[in-house]
Structure 1
Amino acid sequence: MLPLKKKILFPSYMVEAAFYLCAYEFAIKTVNSPWCRLFDEVDAQVMEYALDLKQFWKRAYGYEINSKSSCILFHDMFSRLDKALNEHNSGQKVTEAVTIQVGHAETLLPLLALLGFFKDSEPLTSINYASQTQRSFRTSRMLPYAANFILVLYDCGGGDIRLQPLVNEQPVAFPGVTDRQESMPLYGDVRRHYEELLKGCDFETVCELFKNPAEV
């Protein structure tokens, strides 16, 4: 009589820890860690989705208040662009030709969500994994080590001022902004697209989004 094989079940936090150990050792040391042997390709895809699911609801499109936390950063970004453009148009020397701001993934993800990047037609949930295999919202691609978001103003002549967004040095298109040059639309079109957000940051209204509807 053959011995029965026992199936060992581990708590989810232990599985997640093992997956992180595998990922970190591979990413930092380019070492195929023994921890990686616990997972096959399908396991890795499921773990990837689980991590995306967490970030989707905690810092991105899951709740409206998540992205609204980046409102001040959003306004600072456009105020710097406006200042550079005004100085350029008036013939002055641009006082801040380059502005670099440093933060963490927890800062960048809400900003990307506020701008509408990598938003899928359906939200990520615990029951639609199978239909989300081609999703745009993949934090492993959006937020790798040294993730970055860049905005570049171009003067194409004749008052044709364009704005190019890049995520991790790759050109992307502003969601909802249609133009013959999708990755470099007119700056005025971009501002019109985000007109409501540019009106200001009303944090009293934003905080109401977090309250229980019965309490509002």
Structure 2
Amino acid sequence: MATHLVFLTICIFIDLSSQCSITGYPFENHLSSETPYRLVSNKSFYRIQYDGCTPKKIWMVIRHGTRNPSISKIEQINNRLPDIRDFILENDNLPNGFIKNRDLDLFQKWEPTLNAESKKKLTREGREEMLLLAERMQSKFPELFDNIYSNTSFKFKYTHTQRTKKSALYFVTGLFGKNNAKSVWFPEPLKNDPILRFYKSCTKWYKEVKDDPKLKRINKAFEQSAEMLKTLKVINERLNFSRVSSNLSADDVFLMYKTCAYETAWNKQSKSPWCSPFTEEELKVLEYAEDLELYWQDGYGHELTYKQACPAFSDMINMLISNETYPKVTAYFTHSGTILKMLAHLGLYKDSENLTATNYGKMANRKWRTSFIDSFGSNLAFISFKCNKNNKILTLHQEKVVRLPSCPNSDLCDIKEVISYYSESIEHCDLTSMCAI
């Protein structure tokens, strides 16, 4: 079957890090899960079409848009970064080859702006991410995303958080307009939603994965690796901290890195001064530390982690194969942990070996790059197509086509092949027994 994708940016994520690059400052390539969606999204508004095929339904899971940090991170930014800023500004050895006068000007103007009340709230950038995502999806699939709201045609749901609720509200505003969005119905959010946040009720996962001391040991081992020790050394030398007893610690450097990421996400037009101390190579090391942690916490590190995503996967399959015409659109607003576990459940971005504290050098071209696969606003979409007498599924990640392992040579995958390939997930999805201690 001849296929035509009428949009310009096509990226099949086999080796994402080598096939898709983010343009702009080098630091924008390596911001891990705090990367703003504008840097990784397919910005095309062109309609997606395949010859002889008609889209029938779509199921989406969407990470909330760009948000503020947690309360603990806000406290660190407010309490520690002003001291580091003051030391930099009082340093007679600056500017140098890395820290320019313009960077010092940015440090001079920089002040912490967040308080406890703003913790994890959706930001202006996050609102825009959701508005534009909705508008583009409507342009890509006008047959599905009607601009007139119907409670029959659309099913929306968000988790028990401000950031997902606001993301959902701005998404529907992008679809229906500000006034019509007020009439959209949302169910009352659940504290531990079994589809949107399945892992919240998985006691075994918390005990054996998230709260397992081994995860902290893996993180600590990389913190003490040659790559990380070199990074700390050169940052201290570059900022002239090495001449005093109070060197920047690993926690300090990670705080600067995280602030660089957040402020890059919040501000399109201006560079964060906290990005200026880093070269791209050092950012790669810090990014790897993030990738390593999320690989073992939310990815391929433990079978239970991604197997428990079966309720969300089954919800998607059941919606797409149902003989019911409606709803045509299901859109769930959730979190990073759900997106990453779903990606691993599908078998996407799987490297030939595990990420470890000792194989940083070998994993330079890894597929598990959270800067690309887990940005703010990350989303997975599954679209069912009727192609003559056959039912097929198209999968999008970040609005770009991805090919499932069940059909590695085709964009559209026969639904029967998808069901056959993931039959274990569909037929043996007993979260109660899976998560029991």
Shorter-normalised TM range: 0.7 to 0.9
Paired amino acid for 1:45: K
Paired amino acid for 1:72: P
Match of 1:15 among 219, 241, 253: 253
Structure 1 residue matching 2:413: 3-state secondary structure: coil
Kindly state the Cα deviation for residue 10 of structure 1 after the two structures are TM-superposed: 2.5
Q: Say if 2:425 is the partner of 1:178.
A: no
Q: TM-score, normalised to structure 2's length?
A: 0.42
For 1:127 and 1:66, locate their aligned partners in 2 and report how far apart those are by CA, in whole Å: 22
Residue correspondence of structure 1 range 41-56 to structure 2 within 5 A: 41-56=280-295
After superposition, what is the alpha-carbon deviation per residue over 1:127-172, rounded to whole angstroms, capped at 9, x for unaligned?
Answer: 1111111111111111112111000011110x22110100010000
Q: Alpha carbons of 1:20 and 1:99: their partners in 2 closer, same or farther (altered >3 Å)?
A: same
Residue number in structure 2 paired with 1:156:
387
Q: Which runs of 5+ in 2 are unaligned?
A: 1-239
For 2:338 and 2:369, locate their aligned partners in 1 and report how far apart those are by CA, in whole Å: 16
Paired amino acid for 2:303: E
For 2:250 and 2:241, locate their aligned partners in 1 and report how far apart those are by CA, in whole Å: 19
Kindly state the Cα deviation for residue 205 of structure 1 after the two structures are TM-superposed: 4.6
Q: Alpha carbons of 1:122 and 1:9: their partners in 2 closer, same or farther (altered >3 Å)?
A: farther
Residue number in structure 2 paired with 1:90:
none
The structure richer in strand per residue is: 2
Residue number in structure 2 paired with 1:91:
none
Structure 2 residue matching 1:45: 3-state secondary structure: helix
For 1:110 and 1:179, locate their aligned partners in 2 and report how far apart those are by CA, in whole Å: 20
Residue correspondence of structure 1 range 16-165 to structure 2 within 5 A: 16-30=254-268, 31-83=270-322, 86-87=323-324, 94-157=325-388, 159-165=389-395
Kindly state the Cα deviation for residue 200 of structure 1 after the two structures are TM-superposed: 2.9
Residue number in structure 1 paired with 2:423:
195
Q: Alpha carbons of 1:54 and 1:161: their partners in 2 closer, same or farther (altered >3 Å)?
A: same
Contact 2:298 2:306 in 1 (8 A): yes
Residue number in structure 1 paired with 2:163:
none
Q: Alpha carbons of 1:144 and 1:179: their partners in 2 closer, same or farther (altered >3 Å)?
A: closer
Kindly state the Cα deviation for residue 11 of structure 1 after the two structures are TM-superposed: 2.4
Task: Report the RMSD for the aligned CA atoms in angstroms.
Answer: 1.8
Sequence identity (%) = 32
For 2:399 and 2:329, locate their aligned partners in 1 and report how far apart those are by CA, in whole Å: 16
Structure 1 residue matching 2:353: 3-state secondary structure: coil
Match of 1:169 among 393, 399, 403: 399
Structure 1 residue matching 2:329: 3-state secondary structure: coil
Q: TM-score, normalised to structure 1's length?
A: 0.84
Structure 2 residue matching 1:100: 3-state secondary structure: strand
For 2:288 and 2:294, locate their aligned partners in 1 and report how far apart those are by CA, in whole Å: 10
Contact 2:307 2:425 in 1 (8 A): no
For 1:131 and 1:105, locate their aligned partners in 2 and report how far apart those are by CA, in whole Å: 26
Q: Alpha carbons of 1:179 and 1:24: their partners in 2 closer, same or farther (altered >3 Å)?
A: closer
After superposition, what is the alpha-carbon deviation per residue over 1:35-69, rounded to whole angstroms, capped at 9, x for unaligned?
Answer: 11221110101111111001000111111111123
For 1:107 and 1:179, locate their aligned partners in 2 and report how far apart those are by CA, in whole Å: 24
Kindly state the Cα deviation for residue 113 of structure 1 after the two structures are TM-superposed: 0.9
After superposition, what is the alpha-carbon deviation per residue over 1:68-121, rounded to whole angstroms, capped at 9, x for unaligned?
Answer: 2322112111111121xx24xxxxxx1111111110112111111111111111
Paired amino acid for 1:185: C
Number of residues paired by the alignment?
194
* Greater relative contact order, per chain length (Cα 8 Å cut-off, separation 6+): 2
Kindly state the Cα deviation for residue 179 of structure 1 after the two structures are TM-superposed: 5.9
Q: Which runs of 5+ in 1 are unaligned?
A: 88-93, 212-216
Contact 2:402 2:411 in 1 (8 A): yes
Paired amino acid for 1:51: E
The structure 1 segments of at least 4 consecutive aligned residues displaced by more than 3 Å after TM superposition are: none
Paired amino acid for 2:282: D
